[in-house]
Amino acid sequence: MVLRMWHGRVPTSKAQAYRSFLNQRAIPDYQSVAGNLSVYILERTEGKVTHFVTLTFWEDMDAIKGFAGDNVESAKYYPEDKDFLMEFEPNVLHYEVVGHS
């Protein structure tokens, strides 16, 4: 199993709208890809900035290619992200899951 982790920052004033967008658009998109095992969205507010971390769990790197394309290290963005994000981090992180319960 492989974890794919993405981070983004939005103005806190837009956090609730971005959370709704993620739940309505991004999560179903992840779940529509064969090999996606689960999706978690984390949120933390620090004053005027709210951080979002998306954790997606995949069967293997080939499944991630089905979502992200051949360049799996590149972040995938939606057109709507331009209305929320403060910057576009170019890369994501991947971790092999070596233990869970």
Domains by residue range for the chain, with CATH? 2-96 (3.30.70.100)
| Predicted pLDDT of residue 101 | 84
Mean pLDDT over residues 29-46, rounded? 97
For the chain, the average pLDDT equals 97
pTM, full prediction: 0.93
Beta bridge partners of 52: 8, 43
**Residues 6+ positions from 5 with CB-CB distance below 8 Å:** 53, 54, 55, 92, 93, 94, 95
Question: Does the pLDDT of residue 100 top 90, yes or no?
Answer: no
- Cβ count near 85 (within 10 Å): 18
Transcribe 21-36 into DSSP letters. Answer: HIIIIIHHHHHTSTTE
